[in-house]
Structures are given as structure tokens and as C-alpha cells.
Amino acid sequence: MSSTSATALCLGFILMSFTGHCYGQLQVGFYREKCLVDVEAIVTQVVAAKFNEDPTIAPALIRMQFHDCFVKGCDASILLDGNNTEKTAPPNLSVRGFEVIDAAKAAVEAVCPEVVSCADIISMATRDVFALINRGYRYDVQTGRRDGLVSLAQNVDLPSPRISVNDSIAAFARKGLSATDMVYLLDRLYNFQNTGQPDPTMNPWLASQLRRICPQNSAGSNTVNLDQSFQSSFIFKSYYRQILMNRGILQIDQELALDPLTSSTVQGIVASYSDFRSKFGQAMVKLGAVEVLTGTQGEIRQSCRAINTN
């Protein structure tokens, strides 16, 4: 279920509150004097190669960064393997793209070992895939993060897709954010707010199609593209057009277009996509600064999947 639309939803919220850049010990070009080679260029090359093999990795990586940063900050804790790590929490079971980060880390370690953090590689990779699906438009990524030492499934507390726009804004504001990402397909199809009927705001054709794909008593393992414009699943603007047509999959999707707190933002994105790209970059810079570890905090992992043992 990870798609451009889920990512657009996530950043749609962020754009309402992010207005500037991050501060502190993060900086653009942090590794320029620490490595003899351009490690950011190496990450870009690896990401581009993976993208050419599978373009759907773009929204997947953007989603990964959001899921990492929202839980205890941007410390690459989502990458750690283990029986009870963040990876094992239900909202993260569909997060993917770990092999891209692994490949980028291996390439960087080969030329500048034990210097570049996995947390920074996530941020670089996110910037790179956004550029790949937006005709080369790049935003500057601030680096200097260090990797976390703790990753627990019980720490994963992402807002439910059933949350109202107002409550979602409040929840994310507590972290300096205003965002959510897709989690699960809601019960809008069969029992909207315990009425026994589909959500009345959902496009009737879409409700019929989704009920066919997701029978009421099914195991819940079927997947649905959150962007119902199948020819444009890599175009962020398409997602906003779809929810304006009452074709949002998640309940929070549709409320973005209907709620007075967010409807004007949605309409503005549809009207001016070039402005959205710039604000997206600003949003990602701010998101990437949430509760980061810097200086001597945390560590620089040798492998993104495990805490250092020496």
C-alpha cells in the first residue's frame, strides 16, 4: 500500500506548518572535509541505479524517512533488525527500501569508513528520489546526524488514519510536525462511524471498486493503490486532484480536501505544483531535524542493520 499518494498525504500535512530550515549542528556539506570523496554523489549514484530498476522505491524511501523521524527522531532506528525493533511494529511492516540504504551505506563505507551515518543516508536518499521523479529538482540536505542505539516496537506510535484533521494537526504539532502517512485501509468501505454503510463522502464508483478488491470478511491482505489515477502514481499532484474528486482511500485523505483547515492548501497545491516542490524541500529539511543525535551522541554504525559491537 505504500505509494506516492501516501507520501503526498504525509507531506501535505507537513506543508501546513513547516516554514523554515532546521538549526543546530546539522549543516549542508557536513562531510566535505571529513571524506576525500563526495559521499553524497556516491549515494545519489546508488539510489539512481535502484530507482531505474524499480521506480516505486521513490515513495517508499520518502515514507521510510517519515516513519523513522516520527519515532524518537531521525536516528535510523527503523533500520535496525531484531525481534522487537521498530521494523516489527504493525505500521512499519509495509515499510520497504532497506536494501537501497544498505547498498548506499556499503558504497560509502568502501571509500570513507565509519564516518557517514545511516540516518544521513536516509535523508540523502529521500532527496535523491524526489529529484528523480521531479525532473531533477533538488533541495539541499543538511547532514551531521548520528545513529541511534535504541529501536523498540513499542515506541512506534503513528497516528491512526481514522484521526480527524484537527486532532492530527495537534498530535504532530507536539513533535513540531503536521504530518501523517498511510497505515492501514480504514473501515470506511463497510462501516463508516458505525453506520453499517460506506463513507458517504467517498465517490460511489470508488467505493464499489474497493469493496470488490477488499471483501468485508477478507483477511485484509489485499493491497490497494492509494492513488486511484493509475497512470500517474508517481506524480504528487495527482493525489491532491484525486481527493478533490472524493477518491481518497483513507478517511484522513478525504478529510484533507473537505476540512476548512486544509482544503485551501490542497487546492493551492493543485493550482501551483512548482510552489509545492519548493515547499516540499523546506518541509523535508525541517522533518529531517526532528530530535536528531549529533556530536558525540549515538554512534556511526558500521552496518545500518545492527548496533556496533566494538
Residue 240 has a pLDDT of 66
* pLDDT band, residue 38 (cuts 50/70/90): very high
Share of the chain above pLDDT 70, in %: 55
State residue 305's pLDDT score. Answer: 98
Q: Are 265 and 278 in contact (CB under 8 A)?
A: no
Active site (catalytic) residues: 67
pLDDT at 260: 64
Cβ-based neighbours of 30, under 8 Å, separated by 6 or more:
120, 142, 143, 144
Gyration radius of the chain's alpha carbons: 19
Burial class (CB in 10 A: 0-12, 13-18, 19+), 214: middle
Neighbours of 191 (CB within 10 A): 14
pLDDT single digits (tens) 123-147 = 999 999 989 988 888 999 999 999 9
| Residue 204 pLDDT class (50, 70, 90 cuts) | low
Q: At what angle do helices 118-132 and 57-70 cross, to 10 degrees?
A: 140
Please tell me the predicted confidence (pLDDT) of residue 308. Answer: 96
Alpha helices in the chain (DSSP H): 4-15, 39-53, 57-70, 98-111, 118-132, 165-173, 204-213, 236-244, 251-258, 263-271, 273-287
> Contact at 8 Å (CB) between 6 and 66?
no
Grid cell digits, residue 120: 544521513
CA distance 159 to 151: 19
The most distant pair of C-alpha atoms in the chain lies apart, rounded to whole Å, by 63
Closest residue by Cα to residue 229 from 258, 207, 206, 198: 206
What does the alpha-carbon distance between residue 24 and residue 285 come to, in Å, rounded to a whole number? 12
Closest to 108 in 3D by CA, of 265, 302, 270: 302
- Grid cell, residue 131, equals 529529484
Residues with Cβ within 8 Å of residue 154, at least 6 apart in sequence: 84, 89
Report how far residue 128's alpha carbon sits from residue 141's, in angstroms, rounded to the nearest whole number: 10
Average pLDDT over residues 207-211: 56
Bridge partner list, 27: 143
Task: Kindly state the percentage of the chain with pLDDT values over 90.
Answer: 41
pLDDT tens-digit series, residues 243-273? 666 666 556 666 766 666 666 666 666 656 6
How large is the average pLDDT for residues 219-235?
Answer: 46
